[in-house]
Amino acid sequence: MNPATALSTVLVDELVRCGVTDVVLAPGSRSAPLAIAAHADSRIRLHVRVDERSASFLAIGLARRSQRPVALVCTSGTAAANFHPAVIEAHESGVPLLVLTADRPPELRDTGASQTIDQVKLYGSSVRWFCEVGVPEERPGQVAYWRSLACRAYQRALGPADPGPVHLNLAFREPLIPDGDPSWCEPLDGGPAGPWVRFRLAPPSVGLHVPATRRGVLVVGDGAVNVRRYVAAAGMAGWPVLSEPTGGARYGDHAISAYHFLLGTPEFADAHVPDVVVTLGRPSLSRPLLSWLKRAGEHVVVTAGAARWPDPTRSATQVAEVAEIPVAPGDDTWLRSWRSAEAAAREAVDAVLDDSGTTEPRVARDLAEALPNNSLLFCGSSMPIRDLDQAMRPRRGVRLMANRGASGIDGLVSTAAGAALAHNGPSYALLGDLTFLHDQNGLIIGPREPRPDLCLVVVNNDGGGIFSLLPQAALPGPFERVFGTPHGVDLSYVAAATGTPHTLLSSIGDLPKALRGEGPRMVEVRTDREENARVHAALRESTQKAVRALL
């Protein structure tokens, strides 16, 4: 057996023993040993994509939804560089990813050899761990090295305290394909079932005790863990729960879905300065919320690990891996005030949206309402997630996800497809037109590849809608060309190029019917950017009027 085949066979086997079930491959020559080993292992679900960026974000979706490491494989050169945006997203949002880049051996580096770049620490500080594996050789001790290395890489990617991407750079000499000789200088197998190295976690430490008060608030952002436990504790303590859509806590009697508008009303924000705020995950969608956090008497940030904690407002007074929310004596005046304001603002939001026709926040609200239980909804990082945050009513039964680590728009079709492949149930995605066009290659799925049950709802306003809500909109001269960026693309032709069924929504009332179907499909919703800006202004004015009437 040649060394390249031996290393790849052992590495793939050990990763499977550790728990890897999915491998995403972008084809190439130097990565042939890894590709052949993954294809030959019946325990692996293999996904092949012709575009490295699409492949890498597909892996993000698979790993984010399954919450276990996914192996991502490519050849040498710029192929590995095209993984970089996804590695950054995995780093920022804590997604466990095993990046296996094939490389040329040292004697070919810096010689002008094709597809040869410096891949050592290619992703810089955006990985939890990097290892230059070394050129495999036929000598005793290599199998133990390769298997222990695979275990360490898997466990470092998994965390659990600080999950994220791990980069293994694998230099292969030719021959790159099996030579038909199964012999090796030592046994290649891993012995009894199970990983070569078993990792044990220490028991969790005792949590931080939060000051007892009735005037507390639980804020839940993207990437939060142990959410149900904290929501239950907040319920016992009489605290309102302010959850972003992907926080997983927008349900129950204490959920305040209109918090963006409540805290955007200065009189309400002034009257509701909390004694304590406990933050889970990474809240980042609402500027009024972030400004209000700075005013809390005590701000406790709960983080999965001491190495990283989210505190964009620099207002945290305590950071802990576990926090205990106590029940304080007193009545529920504080909670009743929040709930009354929530009801008034919610009524105002719904009244504006019901009269708005087919507008972007109404599409977001009605989509979240229409989805069946056990659905997955993947959200675009620009306007879709913000529209959901401002318009979505509390509900159970739907899991919401988004790439909110770096919050870029790249690779989101592929991420949604990956998440759908890992989800046991129907999947949907709400994306903007620029986001969709940026990753239209995500629709390229070979005839032999696993196909996601995914409905893409694409809001098409012919450009970058979020800029119409920003100060740049006051610059009529350059605005349309350099911010609005109209593209004029007929999305039905983009869908047709890959055989993806396409439906143009004619009326917002037809949305539930348009969502029906199986496999990859697209529902296009055409909207107007100027009208969208007017609806958002109306939402703000109507909710502020309703809330002020209570004060």
Chain centre to alpha carbon of residue 84: 16
Q: In the chain, what is the straight-line distance between the N-terminal and C-terminal CA atoms, in Å?
A: 78
**CATH number for domain 360-526, candidates 3.30.450.40, 3.40.50.970, 3.40.50.10610, 3.40.109.10:** 3.40.50.970
On whether the CB atoms of residues 273 and 232 are closer than 8 A, the answer is: no
Mean pLDDT of 451-459: 97
| Digit-coded pLDDT (tens) for 355-393 | 999 999 999 999 999 999 999 999 999 999 999 999 999
Q: What is the pLDDT confidence band of residue 15, given thresholds at 50, 70 and 90?
A: very high
Peptide bond into 192 cis (omega under 30): no
| Digit-coded pLDDT (tens) for 46-73 | 999 999 999 999 999 999 999 999 999 9
Q: Which helix (H) or strand (E) holds 458?
A: strand 454-460
- Position 25 scores a pLDDT of 96
Residue given tokens 């300065």 in the structure block: 273
Candidate from 90-99, 293-302, 312-321, 482-491 with smallest mean pLDDT:
312-321
- Position 305 scores a pLDDT of 67
Q: Give me the percent of the chain exceeding a pLDDT of 90.
A: 84
**Rounded distance between C-alpha atoms, residue 428 and residue 178, angstroms:** 41
**Rounded distance between C-alpha atoms, residue 520 and residue 190, angstroms:** 39
- Position 313 scores a pLDDT of 84
207: pLDDT strictly greater than 80 = no
Q: What is the pLDDT confidence band of residue 191, given thresholds at 50, 70 and 90?
A: confident
**Rounded distance between C-alpha atoms, residue 53 and residue 56, angstroms:** 5
Q: What is the pLDDT confidence band of residue 209, given thresholds at 50, 70 and 90?
A: confident
The CATH-assigned architecture of domain 209-336 is 3-Layer(aba) Sandwich (3.40)
Q: What is the pLDDT confidence band of residue 202, given thresholds at 50, 70 and 90?
A: low
Mean pLDDT of 422-431: 98
- Position 466 scores a pLDDT of 86
On whether the CB atoms of residues 63 and 86 are closer than 8 A, the answer is: no
**C-alpha triplet 78, 81, 85: angle, nearest 5°:** 145
- Position 134 scores a pLDDT of 93
Residue 255, classed as helix, strand or coil, is strand
- Position 203 scores a pLDDT of 57
Candidate from 214-228, 332-346, 472-486 with smallest mean pLDDT:
472-486
**Rounded distance between C-alpha atoms, residue 59 and residue 55, angstroms:** 6
- Position 83 scores a pLDDT of 98
Q: What is the pLDDT confidence band of residue 467, given thresholds at 50, 70 and 90?
A: confident
Q: How far, in Å, are 285, 294, 305 from residue 59 at the CA level?
A: 25, 36, 24
Identical fold between 3-171 and 360-526: yes
- Position 306 scores a pLDDT of 60
Structure tokens at 150: 């695979």
Residue 550, classed as helix, strand or coil, is coil
Structure tokens at 285: 């969608």
Q: What is the pLDDT confidence band of residue 205, given thresholds at 50, 70 and 90?
A: low
131: pLDDT strictly greater than 70 = yes
The pLDDT mean for the chain works out to 94
Q: Where are the domains of the chain?
A: 3-171, 209-336, 360-526
On whether the CB atoms of residues 376 and 457 are closer than 8 A, the answer is: no
Q: Give me the percent of the chain exceeding a pLDDT of 70.
A: 98
Nearest to 433 by CA among 495, 390, 376: 495
CATH topology of domain 3-171: Rossmann fold (3.40.50)
CA atoms within 13 A on the CB side of 452: 32
Residue given tokens 């002020």 in the structure block: 548
Residue 423, classed as helix, strand or coil, is coil
On whether the CB atoms of residues 284 and 431 are closer than 8 A, the answer is: no
Mean pLDDT of 508-525: 97
Mean pLDDT of 322-332: 92
- Position 277 scores a pLDDT of 97
Beta strands in 49-180 (DSSP E): 70-74, 97-103, 129-132, 165-171
Mean pLDDT of 235-262: 97
